[in-house]
Structure 1
Amino acid sequence: MKKIIYIGLMVAGTLTFSACSDYLDVNTNPNGPDSLLQPELFLPQIQSEMAVAVQWDGRFAGFYTQNWAYTSGSSYSLNLHSNPLSDTYAQLWRAVYFSMGYNLSDMIESGINNKKYDFVGVGYIMRAYGWQMLTDYHGPVIVTEAFNSDQRVFNYDEQPVVYEEIKRLLLLGIENLDRTDGLSPSDSGLIQADLIYAGNRDKWKKFAYGLLAINAHRLTNKSSYNADEVIGYVDQAFTGNQDDASIGFDGTVSADTNFFGPLRDNIGYYRQTKFMMGLLDGTNPELTDPSLIGADPLPENATEHLKDPRITAMMAPSPDGQYRGISPELGINEWSAAEASLVPKNFWNQVGYKGSTPSPQIYFFNNAARFPLMTYAQLQFIKSEAAFISNKKDVALTAYQEGVKSHMDFAKQYAPDPALFESRKTAYLNSTELFPVATEELTLSKIMLQKYIATWGWGMLETWSDMRRYHYDIDAADPVYKGFELPDPLYISNNGNPAYRARPRYNSEYMWNKDALEVIGAYEEDYHTYETWFSKPE
């Protein structure tokens, strides 16, 4: 792992020279400045790299969870990561160890030296977020020996070590954000540098508590799991959609554009799945209400189930105006050339595989759209699940209701017809099948399927972690993810098992860190199916 610092870019944008010799006078080190740069010069790049990495690798986790499928069908399903000779699925690895890496360490050190403790707090939280996303995706990762410039090979840490380090960093982050002896955000430069919260310390602390909740809630299969602790963390986190963590993009050129936008052209071959569509059109067995057949306000849907109001905000229509999903096994091949009007458009509201600025915009799939990193709805569903499995059904019901309503409010901003959205929302929330008002009507499946909807398209790593906690409902008498089906058969290297982890990055690990890979079994052909520690019952 090499120390990569984008000195040229940052210096070019921040220094003014009176003469060439003046610049040379400040450096005795020919490879870069002797002193640390100010922390505000690190943070925007760090945040952007982290967000793009979550989107990059989340694309592939989204195949596992059937958020979307590839148009050609089974070549992209739950069979990924079987080939280690690729960096295609390892952007998070690169972001955490390279793009953030020493830069984040230097930002924290510079913040301490310059009494910019808000940067220190944000730095610790960003590092914890990186570790959480990375270990959720890869399982064992390198933490205790990371960023040691005296080493050339690095041993892996199992997840118990990583999880404890995440918690330690988050508490350190909160501690530094609570400090009053340093510069204020307006004086430190955090307001200008922070692309997520514009320097708001309180929201960063809420984000940290949200991540503590995520970290603790992963362990539902452990005897040490503490539902009250999870609920307590959520209660100290977001209080509404106004606290949601998201990152913005200018959307003018590829380098400053949303990774999912048409200018980047990364998801043109992706389409929503039948599973996701079933959650929104009333055909999923858990999210259906027979009394709502014929209740949809659109005349053309007079004989159909009420559509979830979020369907028009989140999903891409077909050219004929109807909403459909594709099968991960078949892709768009289930329709003939003569049935082209039935094929779902891409997420840029275009027929085919390219796009421009969509009108109307579909969800956050646009060049300058903000991309979510954590939401109030997500945390409410975590609280609901924690309360449900600890038999606090009243708490679970209230959190469930909060999660559904808040995500509907979130989605409405993308609705092409707000009046239609509100009409459907009223009917939806009046259904005690879809929106329970009594504790005995609430089910674990409803909680997790509504969470699936709320994290669709951005929280793929969260959803994949949830599905692994429930072991994809394999052999479950009462499935949580009703309507979800694994590909059959799976890829031959899977030996009949679904994926549980992504392989480490090829270009750093398989080329330079081979001995450490041998220890964790990463050369085995089915390594990607080894169960992650957090999902194992103990």
Structure 2
Amino acid sequence: MKKIYIVLFALAISFSGCKKYFDINTDPATPQNPESRTLVPPLFAQMERGVQFDARYLGGTIQYFGGAVNVGETHGWIQVSDAMGEIWRTCYYGLGANLNLIIDDSQKKTEWNYVGLAQSLKAWSFQITTDYTGEIIVKQAFEPNRFVFDYDSQEDVYAEVVRIANESINNFSRTDGAGTQAKLAVADLVYQGDASKWIKFNYGLLARNASSTINKASYDPQKVIDYVDKALASNADNFLVPNNGNISADANFFGPLRSNLASYRQTRIIVGLLDGTYLTGTAGSVIDPRRNNMISPSQDGVYRGTNPGVGDPGTVTNKNQIPNPWGSLGSANPGGGANTGKYLFKDKASFPIMTYSEMQFLKAEAAFRKGDLQTAHTAYLNGISASIDFVSALGTAITTAEKTAYMGSASVKQTPATLTLKDIMLQKYLALYGYGFVETWTDLRKYNYITGDAKGNNPYVNTYFFPTSFYSDNGGKPAQRTRPRYNSEYIWNLEALKKIGADKIDYHTVPMWFSQP
């Protein structure tokens, strides 16, 4: 590469006096100041890509995916590899400087809604990256002529997310300037320029941010509730990244056309939540109406799932007898025909970045911790109901009778007095299946998996089970974070990594700031 750069530099000098032949700054085919409307649409694909790429590993850690496919299920990591580094890449490359270009361009044009959109995506990217990785680079990120970057504490990153999200809300609330919904709608593939929905999304980010700090003295459940009440108000407000699904290049990364999940299998915990095992204590006591849309039976009609890191559900030794997330065991669906996938694993399925259902479970958890059981119960029911409607819209329609029967079943607590934190968190875990990978991992870690939080709340006991053996570098400890991306950080920024201990072999087991008292 170095030789190529030298040659290009020499050519640049040689042609310096021949402006009409060699001046890319005036070449209309390579604009140096791209407009915001051209930069925005690809950013949504980057958001989806980052989460889905890394979900192949994280999905195993949180036990959404199984099949003993990779080190994710055993809480491991891969040395000298960018594996598990796609969310990092999204933050600093996929979105990164593009967001700053949009902000600069739109400020000059007084298009405040474009500024707000870029700020909203920046807040999202910093939040998901710190929740995934821990300490990240914020203050020095994107500084010109800088080649070494220092890491910021997670506490500082959380504060920065709050600042940026509030700035975005303020810009979307402005009525002056040249920005209009019509101008933004041209580029906005998610909300079609609707400022009110972007404001709700920002409040959703603030709710996630505040909800993660349950172990801190500063945690305020009422703040979470207030944020949620201003966030997504129904499934119509869901943040969904669209996929055309006509060819591999524009298809859902999780769909059969892309074939990225061919070796993955549905898990014991998902099967157990959908058949009532972990919600009622009795297997098969209540069949969730979402089950047929979200997962599939084996060829003998029995619903099975894998154990973490094993790929064996206990009664079947061949993992290929267990359906993968596409809902098929070969080239055809159980109903016959081409394998087009099911639920969020269809070629044309949109990918959720945030849903109303998630927001309601955040509110239920906060209200429960506050001691307001009536509010907690109402939000809990809203979360389940919205999830059923969301799943129904993505597959075979769930009838009103089926939904009513489930909402009145033993899997759903019928009164505020009988509601537990476990009920809330397990229904949230189920609702986020297939998309809320980092949020679910944040929940597992803030409750310290099966150890419990600072107050002893322990919603995942007897549900989440660790693999029979951890990855060799763990020292018997669960994974708490991923590592910064290898290609950019461990090659070019190693000294900064050493300052935060990321050069240590078990760095990925160091607890997050938000999970510690």
2:41 corresponds in structure 1 to 44
* Rounded Cα–Cα distance in structure 2 between residues aligned with 1:125 and 1:252: 30
**How do 1:74-473 residues align onto structure 2 when only pairs under 5 Å count?**
75-81=71-77, 83-188=78-183, 190-284=184-278, 287-288=279-280, 304-332=284-312, 343-352=321-330, 361-416=341-396, 418-419=398-399, 422-431=400-409, 433-473=410-450
Which ranges in structure 2 are unaligned for 5 or more consecutive residues? Answer: 1-18
| TM superposition shift of 1:332 | 4.5
Identity %: 40
Shift of 1:181: 1.5
Change (3 A) 1:74 1:145: closer
Query: Residues 487 and 63 (structure 1 numbering): CA distance in 2 closer, same or farther, change over 3 Å?
Result: same
Asked if 1:65 corresponds to 2:62, the answer is yes
Q: CA deviation at 1:442?
A: 0.2
| Alpha carbons 1:307, 1:424 under 8 Å: kept | no
- Confirm or deny: 8 A CA contact 2:307 2:313 kept in the other structure: no
- Which moved further from structure 2: 370-379 or 93-102? 93-102
Alignment: residue pair count:
494
Q: Distance in 2 between matches of 1:195 and 1:357?
A: 31
Contact 2:305 2:313 in 1 (8 A): no
Letter in 2 for 1:77: E
- Say if 1:126 and 1:66 are closer, same or farther in 2 by CA, change over 3 A: same
SS in 1 for 2:422: helix
The secondary structure found in structure 1 opposite 2:473 is helix
Q: Please tell me whether the aligned partners of residues 348 and 357 of structure 1 are also in contact (alpha carbons under 8 angstroms).
A: no
Relative to 1, partners in 2 of residues 1:179 and 1:461: Cα closer, same or farther, differing over 3 Å? same
C-alpha deviation, 1:86, in angstroms: 0.7
Q: 1:72 to 1:357 in 2, by over 3 A?
A: farther
Of 492, 499, 502, 1:519 maps to 499
Q: CA deviation at 1:493?
A: 1.1
Q: Amino acid of the residue matched to residue 144 of structure 2?
A: S
User: In 2, Cα distance between the equivalents of 1:399 and 1:23?
Assistant: 65
1:23–1:440 distance in 2 versus 1, CA, 3 Å? farther
2:25 corresponding residue in structure 1: 27
Q: What amino acid is the match of 2:177?
A: G
Alignment partner for residue 483 of structure 1, among 463, 466, 469?
Answer: 463
Aligned mates of 1:403, 1:316 — CA distance in 2: 23
Cα offset, 1:272, TM superposition = 1.2
Cα distance per residue 1:486-524 (max 9 Å; x no partner): 113212210111000001110000000010011011111
Looking at structure 1, the residues matched to 163 and 338 of structure 2 have their Cα atoms a distance apart, in angstroms, of: 43
Quick one: structure 1 residues 163 and 469, their matched pair in 2 at CA, closer, same or farther if it must change by over 3 Å?
A: same
Aligned partners of 1:357 and 1:367 also within 8 Å: no
Does the 8 A contact of 1:387 with 1:396 survive in 2?
A: yes
Query: Partners of 2:297 and 2:345 in 1: how far apart?
Result: 14
Deviation of 1:317 after TM superposition, in Å, equals: 2.5
* SS of 2:265 mapped into structure 1: strand
Aligned partners of 1:378 and 1:451 also within 8 Å: yes
Greater mean alpha carbon deviation, residues 325-334 or residues 507-516: 325-334
- Deviations along 1:157-182, one digit per CA (max 9) or x if unpaired, are 01111011111110110111111122
Give deviations 1:282-306, integer Å, cap 9, x for gaps. Answer: 211xx1176xx9xxxxxxxxxx423
Paired residues of 1:73 and 1:330 also in contact (CA < 8 A) = no
Q: Secondary structure of 2:54's match?
A: helix
Provide the C-alpha distance between the structure 1 equivalents of 2:92 and 2:387, rounded to a whole number of angstroms. Answer: 33
CA gap 1:357/1:453 in 2 versus in 1, 3 angstroms = farther
State the match for 1:8 in structure 2: none
Q: How far is 1:276 from its partner?
A: 1.3
AA matched with 1:235: D
> Partners of 1:465 and 1:112 in 2: how far apart?
35
Q: Secondary structure at the match of 2:280?
A: coil
Q: Give distance in 1, aligned partners of 2:236 and 2:417.
A: 31
1:271 offset after TM fit, Å? 1.0
Tell me how far apart the structure 1 counterparts of residues 356 and 139 of structure 2 sit (CA, whole Å): 32
Runs of 4+ more than 3 Å apart: 21-26, 28-34, 72-76, 184-187, 332-337, 352-361, 475-479
Question: Residues 376 and 23 of structure 1: is their aligned pair in 2 closer, same or farther, counting only changes over 3 Å?
Answer: farther
Q: Secondary structure at the match of 1:233?
A: helix
Instruction: Report the Cα offset of residue 361 of structure 1.
Output: 4.4
| CA gap 1:73/1:95 in 2 versus in 1, 3 angstroms | closer
Q: Cα offset for 1:206? A: 0.3
TM-score of the two chains, using structure 1 as the length reference: 0.86
Q: Can you list the C-alpha shifts for 1:24-54, whole angstroms capped at 9, x where unaligned?
A: 88835999534x2110110011121111101
- Say if 1:114 and 1:485 are closer, same or farther in 2 by CA, change over 3 A: same
How far does residue 253 in structure 1 lie from its aligned partner after superposition? Answer: 2.7
Q: 1:359-408: CA deviations, max 9, x gaps?
A: 67421111111111101110100000001011111111111111111111
Change (3 A) 1:72 1:63: closer
> How far did 1:473 drift?
1.3
CA spacing shift, 1:336–1:160, aligned 2, 3 Å: closer
TM-score by length of 2: 0.90
Q: 5+ residue gaps in structure 1?
A: 1-20, 294-303
Supply the AA of the counterpart residue of 2:438.
Answer: L
Q: CA deviation at 1:59?
A: 2.7
Partners of 1:360 and 1:505 in 2: how far apart?
33
Q: Which moved more, 1:408-417 or 1:224-233?
A: 408-417
